[in-house]
Amino acid sequence: MSEAEKMCDRVAILNTKIEFIDRPENIKELSKEYEILELKLKYLNSKTKKDLEPFTIRTEETYKNGIYKLKIFFEDKEKNLPEILEVLKSSKIEDIKIRTPSLEDAFIYMINRGKKDV
């Protein structure tokens, strides 16, 4: 979707019908109520995942070549980020970055919430 962001003046979000049409930056703005923490971890167990739940909207996890990649969607950075990092302290963080939602993230957010909530 980064190509759409670079090349298009307007983008349509489709989910069996047109849900939303606007400029890419305006669509991304709709999902600004959360941020995304992307981590590479040595360890990740079910207790850690359970302990993260109160501080996150949702998480995505992959495992490849001995490294867990964890994407955490969360709100209220000042309050929740320290709590999230405290929970992950024992997971041996190898890499960490925080970012705002991309156009693809906004698309998923809008489809999951439904047009009436946006």
98: β partners: 37
pLDDT tens-place string over residues 13-23: 887 888 788 88
Using left for φ > 0, alpha for ψ between -120 and 50, and beta otherwise, residue 60 falls in beta
Residues of the chain with CATH 3.30.70.260: 34-99
pLDDT tens-place string over residues 8-60: 888 888 878 887 888 888 888 777 778 999 999 999 999 999 999 999 988 99
Q: Does domain 34-99 have CATH number 3.30.70.260?
A: yes
Using left for φ > 0, alpha for ψ between -120 and 50, and beta otherwise, residue 115 falls in alpha
Per DSSP, the three-state class of 31 is coil
CA distances from 5 to 34, 36, 71, 101, 118 (A): 20, 19, 22, 12, 20
- pTM equals 0.74
